[in-house]
Amino acid sequence: MSKVDLSVNIGSLKLRNPILLASGTVGYGSEISEFIDLKKIGAIVTKSISLKPRKGNKPQRILETSSGMLNAIGLTNVGIEKFISEKIPYLIKQDVPIICNIAASTIEEYVECVKILNEEEGIHAFEINISCPNVKEGGLQFGNNEKMVCKITEKIRAVTKKPIIIKLSPNVSNISDFAQVAKKEGADAVSAINTIIGTAFNIKNKKPKLKNITGGLSGPAIKPIALAKVFEIHQKVKIPIIGIGGIMNWQDAVEFLIAGSSAVQLGTVNFIDPTASLKILNGLMDYCKENKIDNISSLTGSYQLD
C-alpha cells in the first residue's frame, strides 16, 4: 500500500500530522526536545503566555491522583518579551509549527498579546486559553461566560489573520454552545478540553493538599469526559475540533479522531513518557496501514451510531 497521508487541516492551519503537544506540559519545547525530534510532531502548543511574566501559585501545585493528576500551577510564564526574544527563536530552529497559547486577565490584554505576537512570522496559530481553572482572573470567569467568549473571539479576530483556536472549558453544562459562539465570531477551530476542577484533602491535618485548594484534573481519569465533549461539539457545530484529555496511547488518539477530532493534543502523558508522542504517531500510522486508511483525516467523526 502507498504511504499513509497523515496531514490534517484545522481550518486554514495545515499540519504534517495530527499529533500535537498540549500547552503547559512541555514548557517552551527545550525541555522535551532532549527526548524527541520535534520535527516529527504536528505542532507544539506553548505554555500559556501573558503580557507580563507570572510567578503562578505557591506550592503545593501538583498532585498525583487515581488515574491522573491535579495541577494548580496558575499560569507561571516568562511573559511575552522573553518569549519572543528567547523561546520562539529556539522553536523555529527545531522546525516545528508553533501554536502560541495565550492567557490574559482582560480582553484588552488578550488583544494586545495577539497584536504583538501576530508580527512574529514563526507563529503559525493562536490558541486562546479562556479555560484555566487555576487563576482568579482570566480563567474560567471568561470560559464559562458565553458573552465573554463572544467578545474575546471577535476582538482577537479583528487583529489577526492567523488561525485562532479557542480552548474550551469542560466545566460548563453545554460545551457546544461555546463552540457555536467561537465559530460565529470567526474562530478557525476549538480545542477541547482543558482540565476539570478537582481537589484533595489530607486526612491527617484535614487541610487541602493544594495551596490553591482546587486544581485542574488531567490524565486518563478525564478521557471519557473529554470524548463526550468532543462528540457533543461534533454533533452540534461544524467547526474543526482538536481533542485533548487523557490520551495515553495510539488507541486513545484513534478514539478521539473517531469521536470528531481533526487532531489531538497530548498533555499528562508527556510527564510519564516524554517519547510518547512519537510512539503514538507510529501507532497511528500502523493502524491506518492495517485498516487500509490512506488519509488519516477520513477518520475524523467516523463513528457509527447504529
Give the whole-angstrom CA distance, residue 87 versus residue 110. Answer: 19
Indicate which residues carry an active-site annotation.
132
Cβ proximity to ligand FMN, 266 vs 281, nearer residue: 266
Give the whole-angstrom CA distance, residue 306 versus residue 295. Answer: 24
Grid coordinates of 47: 505554555
Cβ proximity to ligand FMN, 4 vs 125, nearer residue: 125
Q: Which residues bind ligand FMN (CB under 6 A)?
A: 22-25, 47-48, 69, 71, 73, 75, 101, 129, 132, 167, 194-195, 218-219, 222, 244-247, 266-268
Cβ proximity to ligand FMN, 4 vs 77, nearer residue: 77
Query: What residue number has its CB nearest to ligand FMN?
Result: 24
Give the whole-angstrom CA distance, residue 213 versus residue 201. Answer: 9
Min dist CB 103 to ligand FMN, Å, is 6
Grid coordinates of 200: 484533595
Min dist CB 200 to ligand FMN, Å, is 15
In degrees rounded to 5, what are phi and psi of residue 6? -95, 0
Min dist CB 77 to ligand FMN, Å, is 7
Close Cβ partners of 147 (under 8 Å, ≥ 6 residues apart): none
Cβ proximity to ligand FMN, 145 vs 249, nearer residue: 249
Contact 60, 49 (CB under 8 A): no
Give the whole-angstrom CA distance, residue 216 versus residue 269. Answer: 15
Grid coordinates of 106: 482582560
Min dist CB 28 to ligand FMN, Å, is 11
Grid coordinates of 193: 478540553
Min dist CB 248 to ligand FMN, Å, is 8
Which parts of the chain are beta strand (E)?
8-10, 13-15, 19-21, 43-45, 62-65, 68-71, 98-102, 123-129, 164-167, 189-192, 196-199, 214-218, 241-244, 263-266
